[in-house]
Amino acid sequence: MNRTREHWTSRMGFILAAAGSAVGLGNVWRFPYVTGENGGGAFLLIYLGIVFSIGVSVLVAELIIGRSTQLDPAGAFRKLAGGAWPIVGYMSILTAFVILSFYCVIAGWTVAYMIKSITGSVLTANPEEIGGVFDAFITDPLEPVLYTALFIGLTVFVALGGVASGIERAARILMPALFFILLVLVARSVTLDGAVEGIAFFLEPDFSKVTWETLLAALGQAFFSLSLGMGAMITYGSYMQRHDDIAGSALAVTVLDALVAVLSGLVILPAVFAFGAAPTAGPGLTFITLPSIFAQMPFGFLFAALFFFLLAIAALTSAVALLEVVIAYFMDEGSANRKKVAVTAGIATFALAVPASLSLGVMSGFTIGGKVLFDALDYLTNNITLPLGGLLVALFLGWVLKHRGEEEFVDGSTLAPALVGAWRFIIRYVAPVAILLILINGLGFI
């Protein structure tokens, strides 16, 4: 086809959009409770070290694939190498679609809790009572499905505007809003009576708590928090201008992504300690523990609504990136226009999201490998296809496309020539081994 390729209008627009793709529920929801489960400050240091070495290196690799080809993931691998390599692209597109389907279910919960926080219906000082409210909500056959539909509609609406007028414009509004809300919530959390203990837990490393599981958790969190292995960064890289700076932009995206994770930790962990809750509460920390904490704060309903609005923004910017992976493929490979593809992809996402949501309630009797559909989709992507995709990207850039990859790395960048040696070593040796560990651990062999 002779379709004109869309591009970002500025480097800042790309950085904000790519950071929006990376910043998601993994940063604001998952990072604080994983940190709490793994000892606090020591985990934070290990996580940051991995993010700024392995994470940014794989991010650079994905951007190189996208920028050099100006194509979707499948088309990019076909153009660069052919053979069986396009399978990696197809896998990442399918992974993005599957993740989007159950991701929108969780994102719908954040929208619901934002509204319910204003009305006060999910705020009570009794965590057990809130746990019952949460269980009743997610197992309801209708309400969470309606919020999922609303969220998918918002995602499609942003994508309909295209790269510049849709994704980039939304990122320029949503990302500053996200940071503003984060700073407001940090200011409230760290000034609570008893918050000092939580701050110390989060920022003061205690390496006596570090175990092999801590390292694996940090590896997994660093990899997933940058939206790697799902085609999003390849797709966003394909919208870069031919000689845009990859190294500097990737570093800026990584800084923003890590900053959101750290600020989220400063929102949640000081508040948890201030009210005597357990930092090891796991996934329930967000929808069960935190509402009980907000209920005990002055103007708690307002801070709760702000927090869940923050979660919804983070989820939306990531969901748009996941949907764009699917849109880019069908626009590059076929003749359909953006509007038709975006709406069709949104409908298909909803079609898979509905049974994923219902599997937590009325369809819980239907299982795949002993897991309900929601958990099965999560396991398939997070434990298998995401790390496998990231591993193959690292091997591809490190060994198959090694010389051209290094040329693309330094093209358009004043920073990259000083870093190309380190990047070469990490992408060839360190990243494959680290991601292989994530994959093996996810499959339960460690």
Rg of the chain, C-alpha, whole Å? 21
Position 4 pLDDT exceeds 90: no
C-alpha 14, offset from chain centre: 17
Q: Among candidates 273, 357, 291, 306, which has minimal Cα distance to 129?
A: 291
Q: Does an H or E element contain 194, and which? A: none
Residue 167: CA atoms inside 13 Å, Cβ hemisphere, count?
Answer: 36
Residue 212, judged by CB atoms within 10 A of its CB (0-12, 13-18, 19+), counts as exposed
DSSP string over 42-83: HHHHHHHHHIIIIIHHHHHHHHHHHHHHTS-HHHHHHHHT-T
- Alpha-carbon distances of 392 from 99, 199, 345, 402, rounded to whole Å: 19, 39, 26, 13
pTM above 0.75, yes or no: yes
What dotted CATH number matches 11-442?
1.10.4160.10
Whole-number pLDDT of residue 446: 67
* Interval 131-150 mean pLDDT: 95
Position 201 pLDDT exceeds 90: yes
- Mean pLDDT value across the chain: 93
Q: Does an H or E element contain 377, and which? A: helix 373-379
Whole-number pLDDT of residue 414: 86
pLDDT digits (tens, 9 = 90+) for 307-316: 999 999 999 9
Q: What distance in Å separates the CA atoms of residue 323 and residue 346, rounded to the nearest whole number?
A: 8
* Interval 148-177 mean pLDDT: 97
Q: What distance in Å separates the CA atoms of residue 168 and residue 9, rounded to the nearest whole number?
A: 8
Say if CB 157 and CB 343 are below 8 A apart: no
Say if CB 348 and CB 128 are below 8 A apart: no
Ordered by start, the domain boundaries in the chain are 11-442
